Chains A and B, each alone.
Chain A
Amino acid sequence: MNLYGIRAIYKFEMARMRRTVMQSVLSPVISTCLYFVVFGSAIGSRMGDIDNIAYGAYIIPGLVMLSLLMQSISNASFGIYMPKFSGTIYEVLSAPVSYVEVVLGYVGAAATKSVILGLIILATAKFFVDYDVLHPFWMFSFLVLTSITFSLFGFIIGIWADGFEKLQIVPMMIVTPLVFLGGTFYSIDMLPDVWQTVSLFNPVVYLISGFRWAFYGVSDVHVGISVGMTLVFLTACMVGIWWIFKTGYRLRS
């Protein structure tokens, strides 16, 4: 195992985070705070409780998940796309590192950034909304598992993308709608039956439901299913990355 290689990539990526702290940390924290202010404090005070939880507190898991998903994808996709774009990828391809080590470096750093961001958002939320975490271990586990899974997904997007536009398409056009329609601002029980069924095809429903269960002990679907679905997606991403490196897709001709 080339531990120095993993560490070099990891440190390089973490240094990039420090250089772009405004974009990678402050910006998502500020936009999430705006959600807390508007939907939590302002509108939330006029909304009824959902599952006996104050609306402002109810939306916290979903909002954290929104940032976590977007930033995981963005961090990891940029992390691998930039060396491809600038041409410095030659060094990684010619180095004595296996693909597992490359992924550990890039995805490990992207996931770390997301976990840090998630914890900062949770800490910031305390200023606006009162909430408790019923199952801290599971809350942290979901945070880490989701960060890793979507960083892997972002890594795949970064390899697939051959332009900056493609980097943005998946997070903006697919992930954001899925999060908004995945129960961030409501329980899917509140939807008509047909839309409840449709919602079950949205993988983000399972993430938010499980994460919310870790906070308040209530969920749209059983927490076991949430964990299972997350692991299924994680496995799918791993298989995708294995295939990319096996075939050299968009990396080695």
Chain B
Amino acid sequence: MQPDISVKHLSKVYGDGFQALKNINLEIRRGEIFALLGPNGAGKTTLISIICGIVNLSSGEVKAAGYDIVKDYRKARETIGLVPQELNTDSFETVWDAVSFSRGLFGKAPKPSHIQKVLKDLSLWDKRNNRIMSLSGGMKRRVMIAKALSHEPQILFLDEPTAGVDVELRRDMWEMVRKLRESGVTIILTTHYIEEAEEMADRIGVIRQGEIILVEDKTQLMTKLGKKELRLHLAQKLDKVPGELTLEPVELSEDGYELIYTFDSQQEQAGVARLLRTLGDLGIEYRDLQTRESSLEEIFVGLVHE
């Protein structure tokens, strides 16, 4: 199937000579949730801004829904909805007028039933006649999402959608994003909250210093790059890791009461059995054991600091 977003050899050099993007190649599939992760200044917003037409590209080619964003900019942009990072909203307009304005701007005939649905889905219906300036920050964020959805886009960009919103609203938004995906909308989100990507994304892309360093299915990424950790709570304190265990990656906690064994998620699990057998042979007793997998956050931190 043709990708919804296709980026080939994209580079961006700003007027002051700063190279924000270096030879980016990326394909985003129809109907997926793609999370773009990267530290501040990595080029996430520049990449989104180029695809949406806010920033000019320096070289390369970008297609949205099969349309070139420069030559066929009208058709390309009609398919895209953008929720930018900053809370940029009109102040004096009512919610209804602002959302209707966006629909018209994107070349769609008025359709009050759709605006009504979007506002209801985003719990904005009661506020439809309120001026935007009278709304809270979270409500303004919802208005921006409603504006982006007003023209029924096939592709939705969410640039840090839950920055500064409370936990409840964040959960609501996740729910809304899932529903949109179910209806066939392709969603690209950038986020600082790794748990957000972990919770929602189908695939993860990591961008560092203007380069895409990894694009991977989320579950595969977590299996491939994730670590597992086994912690054994000892019955008696140890002064050092016994010599018989030094072949394994085992560490002793500072207080001497915990043995910590780290291993790759993909690795066959024989190491754990071997470790426990050796402990039994040495007569080292343990009262409890715990295992945990590394989170996407730890994987991400590891990647961007490589």
Q: Which A residues contact B (CB, under 8 angstroms)? A: 2, 4-5, 7-9, 11-12, 15-16, 19, 86-88, 90-98, 248, 252-253
Q: Establish whether residues B52 and A94, one from each chain, have CB atoms under 8 Å apart when the complex forms.
A: yes
Q: Establish whether residues A93 and B54, one from each chain, have CB atoms under 8 Å apart when the complex forms.
A: yes
Residue among A15, A93, A95, A97 having the largest count of chain B Cβ atoms under 10 Å: A95
Is B224 interfacial (CB 8 A cutoff)?
no
Chain B 85-108 interface mask (CB, 8 Å, partner A; 1/0): 010111111000100111111111
Is B56 interfacial (CB 8 A cutoff)?
yes
Q: Establish whether residues A4 and B14, one from each chain, have CB atoms under 8 Å apart when the complex forms.
A: no
Q: Establish whether residues A94 and B80, one from each chain, have CB atoms under 8 Å apart when the complex forms.
A: yes
Is B75 interfacial (CB 8 A cutoff)?
yes
Chain B 137-181 interface mask (CB, 8 Å, partner A; 1/0): 000000000010000000000000000000000000000000000
Interface residues of B in 49-88 (CB under 8 A from A): 52-56, 73-78, 80, 82, 84, 86, 88
Distance A97 CA – B75 CA, assembled complex (angstroms): 10
Residue pairs across A and B with Cβ atoms less than 8 A apart, 12 shown, are A2-B74, A4-B104, A8-B104, A11-B101, A11-B104, A87-B88, A88-B90, A90-B54, A90-B82, A91-B82, A95-B77, A96-B78
Closest to B104 in A: A8
Distance A96 CA – B80 CA, assembled complex (angstroms): 10
Q: Told that A15-B93, A91-B105 touch, could you supply 8 new A-B pairs with CB distance under 8 A? A: A8-B103, A11-B101, A87-B84, A88-B88, A96-B107, A252-B54, A253-B55, A253-B56
**What B residues does A86 contact at CB under 8 A?**
88-91
**What B residues does A91 contact at CB under 8 A?**
82, 102, 105, 147
Q: Take A87-B88, A91-B147 as given contacts and tell me if A96 and B106 are in contact as well, using a CB distance cutoff of 8 Å.
A: yes
Shortest CB distance B135–A (Å): 15
The 6 closest A-B pairs by CB, nearest first: A8-B104, A87-B88, A96-B74, A96-B77, A94-B52, A2-B107
